[in-house]
Amino acid sequence: MSGPGADGRGPGMTPFRLLLVEDSVNDAALVTAELEQAGYLPTTRRVDTLEALRDALAAGAWDLVLCDQRLLGFTALDVLSLLHEEGRDVPLIVLSSQLSEDQAVTLMKAGARDCFSKDRLARLGPAVARELEETRVRRERARAELDRDILSRASELLTASLEQAARLDQLVQLMVPRVADWCAFFLQDPDQGGLRLVALAHPDAERRAHAWKLDQRFPLDPLAAAGPAHVLRTGQPEFMPDVRKRPEPITRDVAHQRAIEGLGLRSVVNVPLPGNEGRLGVMSMGTLGDRVLAPVDLALALELARRTGLVLENARLFQEAREAVRLRDEFLTVAAHELRTPLTTLRLQLGTLLQRSEAHRLEPDVVTRLERSVRQVRRLGTLVEGLLDVSQLSSGELSLMPERFDLEELVSEVLERYQAEAGAAGCELRQSPRRGLWGTWDRLRVDQAVAALISNALKFGPGRPVEVDVGREGGFARIQVRDRGIGVPVDQVERIFERFGRAVSSHSYGGLGLGLYLARRAAEAHGGRAWAEPALSGEGARFTLELPLEKETRE
């Protein structure tokens, strides 16, 4: 410790806030001198009544209370009782000219940290050192617990299914009054630019209303040298333990600066809300009167702002993605409707030409080209219908029109339609023996689902046979399509049923990635399911479509 200066107060002296409950001015001077001799620089307030003590406790935070054992009208026990009543974690040391052993024991049991006679003031320095250190450790632990509690509750709020405004309103409430006297969030306004106040917490409704009016009347200057706008522009947090010592005003607007000063601010902390592509806004908190913020409050604000910024950024990205999906679905709906009419006309025209090909005895090469064109138009029509179904699914479930039919007959019809495509792919389509399997389903949806499984097998297993088995399993009709193509990796068996999902590159195999998605949704709309699994032999894959049977059919 460096030596004392000419006035006995050297630069190495330890400052602390002392509340001295003493009715003797001379004794108070002796205590202060002893503390300075021990290397302390107390900021002292002396009181000699319980009312003055209560006012002093309300005025600020104290590090230590030194109290005479008996004063006019009250004792140290009354002081201890008042400290407990106010919930103040302040150590108390009792000094007395006359103090019996029994009195000392009673005081220690009541909560006094030490008791000794005024003629033994040499003990005061070590006792103060011990109490200040124990108080520091105790307060640091309590503050760590407070920070953990606030951040834990903040995480719950940030992950809750709340609207952004409600979420921010509840977040600022966490900080008041446990950490600060007021807390606010400012977010960037994409329409008007700059910052706007979106959430504010303060226990006084009149002050809250005044702050909201102040924000509406005086927008924050984006070029301000301090305050939230400056933090947003620079990205650097601002910590002002005493705003009265701010080197320059927060705004060049005299009326605005006067209104800010009228708020009675003492300490402020402004920290940026980080986003992926810049800063989203600013979190601000402050104190009034004698209450002062500390570096630990800045650390808490930075962590809370980091978590809040992350959630706000994710919410923004989610909203953008949802809007993009909405626009895409609108485009798919419009495109599907616009394509449907010319495709229908083209299909009818090609069909007419194909029907007349025999009568006009067209060359075989021309007939072949017409048949190929019909298949391609039919394939394009299937893709368009798939797009329309996807757009409908985005806004609700598939609509069903049930009718009773033979499932094996429908599968045969689908296989017949794909014979030409199978021949072009070098695949043989094989169907299990037909025995008849009747049920009530939506014929069009089941047809589309089966067609998707067949088309998928032909695409990924060219040159190999494709086997289709139709049967029943318990209360369900089951269609299984087995190919011997490239197979499906185990980690992709679910992804291929997602919308626009695929297990291989679209450049190699084409398609929109909708067929299996619509097949599964069709099965689920009926109360069934669809799934895929790699072949046991490691070659190819097996796709299963399961549809519920009617009760009488099951029996």
Collect the ranges in the chain with pLDDT lower than 70. 1-12, 191-193, 332-333, 336-337, 358, 379, 382-383, 385-398, 499-513, 535-538, 551-555
Amino acid 388: pLDDT: 66
* CATH number of the 14-139 domain: 3.40.50.2300
* Percent of residues in the chain assigned helix, strand, coil, to nearest 5: 50, 20, 30
Reported residue count of the chain is 555
Let me know the angle formed at the C-alpha of 105 by 102 and 108, rounded to the nearest 5 degrees.
150
Q: What is the DSSP string of 93-120?
A: EEEESS--HHHHHHHHHHT-SEEEEGGG
Residue 95 phi, psi (nearest 5): -115, 140
Q: Give the strands of the sheet with 14-21, arranged side by side.
A: 40-47, 14-21, 64-68, 92-96, 114-117
Q: How far apart are CA 419 and CA 454, in angstroms?
A: 11
| CATH label, 402-548, candidates 3.40.50.1820, 1.10.3720.10, 3.40.50.300, 3.30.565.10 | 3.30.565.10
Any idea of the CA torsion for 374, 379, 385, 389, to the nearest 10 degrees?
160
Residues 518 and 455 sit within 8 Å (Cβ to Cβ): no
| Of the candidates 146, 109, 525, the residue with the CA atom closest to the CA atom of residue 545 | 525
Distances in Å between the Cα of 463 and the Cα atoms of 64, 410, 420, 509 are 90, 25, 14, 15
- C-alpha torsion sign, points 81, 83, 85, 89: negative
Per-domain residue ranges of the chain: 14-139, 160-293, 320-395, 402-548
The structure tokens listed for 297 are 């409050």
What CA–CA distance (Å, rounded) separates 400 from 441?
A: 8
3-state secondary structure at position 397? coil
461, 540 contact by CB (below 8 A): yes
pLDDT at 186: 94
pLDDT score for 89: 86
How many CB atoms are closer than 10 A to CB 512? 14
Structure tokens at 370: 């017409």
Q: What is the DSSP string of 171-222?
A: HHHHHTTTT-SEEEEEEE-TTT-SEEEEEEE-S-HHHHHHHHHHHHHSPPPT
- Only one residue has tokens 């950024």, namely 313
Q: Cα angle at 101 between 100 and 103, to 5 degrees?
A: 65
In CATH terms, the superfamily for domain 160-293 is GAF domain (3.30.450.40)
Q: Are strands 466-473 and 476-483 parallel, antiparallel or unpaired?
A: antiparallel
Helix (H, G, I), strand (E, B) or coil at 246: coil
Secondary structure (3-state) at 144: helix
